Amino acid sequence: MATTLAPPPRHVSPPPTARRRIRRAFRRRPGKFTYLVLTAIGFFSFFPLYWSVVVASQDNSALGKMPPPVLLGGNLWFNLKRAFTMVPFEKALINSFLVAGAITLSVVLFSTLAGFAFAKLRFRGRNILLLSIIATMMVPTTLGIIPLYMLMAKIQWTGTIYAVIVPAMVNGFGVFFMTQYLSEAVPTELLEAGRVDGCSTIRLFWHVVLPAARPAAAVLGMLTFLTAWNDFFWPLVVLTPEDPTVQVVLSTLSAGRITDYSLALTGALIAILPLLVVFVVLGKQIIGGIMQGAVKG
């Protein structure tokens, strides 16, 4: 007697009432434990910044007391004056703003251009060239310090901020990051429709690709600014002590037989403030990009 197999069960969608219950469950307000965990995470994230302000407002002798101070003192403005008097902090801030700003703008622009080309344009050797760029991310930066310094000395750029800006105007991470983002964020049909309407490649990039790349550009810009602002070794090698960046100046403040922690953390507090401003300015775009990716997923 022949037997027949039963057909596989079909996927049955839940009735409207069940769907409403599922949506209501996802919209349920978080409980007290969630708020407790978020409060603890926020506290431990904010406490190092608060402790830096407390130490910067004290003198060095107050830090050796037990228990250590947890409230603000009255020496903040005095320590700020000392920081700007002992080292060329104003010059360092200007140099760091110029270096980090120029590197950020150039990396975002060139990485978006290259990402658009690798993601949406077809040309000979595209995959090999992209793999070569990705391979540069595997090479440690310190391996190129000596030949890069020899090159800067040959073109007489040592001691100038050009030697810090030009080698970092584009990097493999930015190109790879924008390539991956634009390959999904910009539909090929939209580009083809623009070409039918008579748009050139430059106009497509300016009016279609660049607005779509804004969330990723904000993330890349913040990461690039943070990296350029915190760079220490290469500016220490190529710049003079009279024309430093912020990180080089901070190393000078913390040097000595006895470290003045109040002075060192005063300088660190000055160096942190621009990073907070950049995050506040770009935070809306970053959150918008995250939410956009969540909605697509």
Secondary structure E strands in 191-291: none
The total number of residues written for the chain in this structure: 297
Average pLDDT over residues 145-170: 92
Residue 71 class from Cβ within 10 Å (0-12 exposed, 13-18 middle, 19+ buried)?
Answer: exposed
- Predicted pLDDT of residue 296: 47
Average pLDDT over residues 37-61: 85
- Predicted confidence band at 294 (pLDDT cuts at 50, 70, 90)? very low
Residues 6+ apart with CB under 8 A from 79: 56, 57, 262, 263, 266
The second-level CATH assignment, the architecture, of 89-296 is: Orthogonal Bundle (1.10)
- Predicted pLDDT of residue 1: 46
- Predicted pLDDT of residue 60: 76
- Predicted pLDDT of residue 174: 93
Q: Is the pLDDT of residue 5 over 70?
A: no
* CB-CB contact of 130 with 179 (8 Å): yes
191-243 per-position pLDDT tens digit? 888 888 888 888 888 888 888 888 889 889 988 999 999 999 999 999 988 88
In one letter, which amino acid is 155? I
Q: Is the pLDDT of residue 12 over 70?
A: no
Tell me the average pLDDT of the chain.
Answer: 83
- Predicted pLDDT of residue 94: 93
Greater confidence (236 vs 64) lies with 236
Alpha-carbon span 172 to 236, nearest angstrom? 23
Alpha-carbon span 218 to 213, nearest angstrom? 9
Please state the φ and ψ torsions of residue 155, each to the nearest 5 degrees: -95, 10
- Predicted pLDDT of residue 289: 57
Please state the φ and ψ torsions of residue 102, each to the nearest 5 degrees: -65, -40
Q: Out of 60-64, 65-69, 117-121, give the one with best mean pLDDT.
A: 117-121
| Positive/negative CA dihedral, 211, 216, 217, 218 | positive
Q: Is the pLDDT of residue 28 over 80?
A: no
The tokens of 53 are what?
A: 């302000």
Compute the radius of gyration of the chain from its Cα atoms: 27
Residues 6+ apart with CB under 8 A from 54: 69, 70, 71, 72, 73
Q: For the chain, what percentages of helix, strand and coil (3-state, to nearest 5) are there? A: 75, 0, 25
The tokens of 181 are what?
A: 């983002």
